Structure 1
C-alpha cells in the first residue's frame, strides 16, 4: 500500500525542514554554552531564554505590532516596484545589445555603491517617510532580479526561437510560450535573492530616519533603552520576516513552475 499524497507531502516537508531545526538547536546550544562558560553580562550577550522571553514580551505588549507593519509595507512595496522594473529592464537588456552596452556600466556602478551610503542622501531628497524607504528597498533588490531575468531570457535556445518564427510566431507569442517559461527558474532565483535584500534595504532605510519600523526599534534598543535582549529579539524578528518572505517566493515558484511542467 502507498501512503496518501498528503501524508507523503508532509513527510517530504519534514525531511526538508529537519536539518534546519537540528542546525538551529545546535546553534542555540552553542549560544547557551558560551553565555554559561564565559559568564558574559546580559547587556553584552544575553542568554537564549532571556531573548526568547523578551521576544514574547514584545509580542504581548504591542512593541512588534507598532513597528513590524511599517517594515512589511516598505519591503512589499519596494520589492514590487523594484522587481517590476527589474523584470522589464532585464528583458530589454537580454534582447537589445545596444541597451546592454549603454546601461550595464551604470547598473554595475549603482550596484557597487553601498546602500548604507545612499540611504541618508535618499532620505534627504525624499524625506524620512514611506517613499524614501520604498525607493531604497527597490534599489537594493533591483540588480539581482534584472540580472537573473537577462540571463534567463538569454538561456532560451536560439534554434527554438528560429523554429517558432519560421512557423509564424509573433513576438508576443515567443514571449509567453517560449521565453518566459524557459526563464522562470532563473527569474525566481533572482526574486528569492531580491526579497531578502528588500528586508535589508528596509532596515537600512529605517536607520537613516523614521518613526516606526524594526530598524527604528533596533536604534531604540541599542540607544536610549540599552535593552540588549530586545535588540536580539528584533534581529530574530527581522530574520523571521526574511525567511518567511523567502518561503513565500519558493512556494509561488513551485506552484508556477510545477503547474507548467
Structure 2
C-alpha cells in the first residue's frame, strides 16, 4: 500500500515536470517564431532578468509583501467562513436568508470592490487584506458546507449516543471529519488570495508584486513583466503545495483516508 502511494506521487511529480517542460518548449518555440522580444521575450531572457532581479532586496520585499497580504486575507476569510458554514449547516432558516445574498455578491468583480474599500478604510495593508478575504470567503464557505453535508450520519448518531453534543460534537467529530473539505477550500482560497492581493495593489498601491507589475507595464518592461508573473505563479504554487503538505501531515486527515 505504501509503495503504491509512493509510486503514485512519483508519477504525479513526473507528469508535472513533463507538463512544465512542454510549456517551456512551447514558449521557446513561439518566441522564436515571433522574433520580437517586445511582444514575447524568450525564456532565456526572462530567466536572466529574473536572476538579476532576485539578486536585489527590492523583489524579495515585494514577494514578502504580497505573500503577507494574501495569507492574512485568506486566514481572515477562513475565520469568518468556517463558523458561518457551520451555522448554515445547523440552521436552514439562516442559510435560506443569507445564502442568496452571498451567492449574488460573487458577481461583483474584485476590481470594483477595491475603490470602495479605499473610501471606507483608506490605503495601506488593511484594505488589501479585506479584499483578499472577500474573494476567498465564498469558496471556503461552500467547500466547508459541502463537507458538513456529507458527514457520515452513523458516526454522528453514535457520537450523540455517547453523550456528545453542541461544542463537543463539533470539536471532536464534525470539524475533524470536515477537515479534508476545509483544506480543499483553503487551497482554492490561498491561490485566489494571491490574485486579490495583486488586484488590490493595482488600485490601492503598495510595495508588492501588483505594484511592481503596474510600474513595469508603464515603462513597457516586457521581460520584467514576464518575470514578475512567473514569480506570482511560483508563489501561488508554493502556498498551494505547503497546504497539501500540511494536509498530508495532519493525523486527523490521514486517519480519515485510511478508513
TM-score (norm 1): 0.91
Q: Take 1:49 and 1:11, find their aligned partners in 2: how far apart are those partners?
A: 33
Equivalent position to 2:23, from 24, 27, 30: 27
Displaced runs of 4 or more, over 3 A: 7-14
Partner SS state of residue 211, structure 1: coil
1:169-188 matches, within 5 Å, as 169-188=164-183
Q: Take 1:108 and 1:221, find their aligned partners in 2: how far apart are those partners?
A: 36
Q: 1:9 Cα shift?
A: 8.3
Q: 1:11 Cα shift?
A: 6.1
1:124 aligned partner: 119
Q: 1:259 Cα shift?
A: 5.2
Q: Deviations over 1:217-250 (max 9, x none)?
A: 0001110x32100000000000011000000111
Q: 1:12 Cα shift?
A: 5.7
Partner SS state of residue 112, structure 1: coil
Gapped regions of structure 1 (runs ≥ 5)? none
Q: Which moved more, 1:213-222 or 1:168-177?
A: 168-177
Q: Take 1:180 and 1:33, find their aligned partners in 2: how far apart are those partners?
A: 49
Partner SS state of residue 220, structure 2: coil
2:32 aligned partner: 36
2:51 is equivalent to residue 56 of structure 1 = yes
Structure 2 CA distance for partners of 1:31 and 1:259, relative to 1, 3 Å: same
Q: Which moved more, 1:188-197 or 1:176-185?
A: 176-185
Q: 1:178 Cα shift?
A: 2.1
1:247-258 matches, within 5 Å, as 247-256=241-250, 257-258=253-254
Aligned residues: 254
1:244 aligned partner: 238
Q: Which moved more, 1:93-102 or 1:250-259?
A: 250-259
Q: 1:104 Cα shift?
A: 0.5
Gapped regions of structure 2 (runs ≥ 5)? none
Partner SS state of residue 170, structure 1: coil
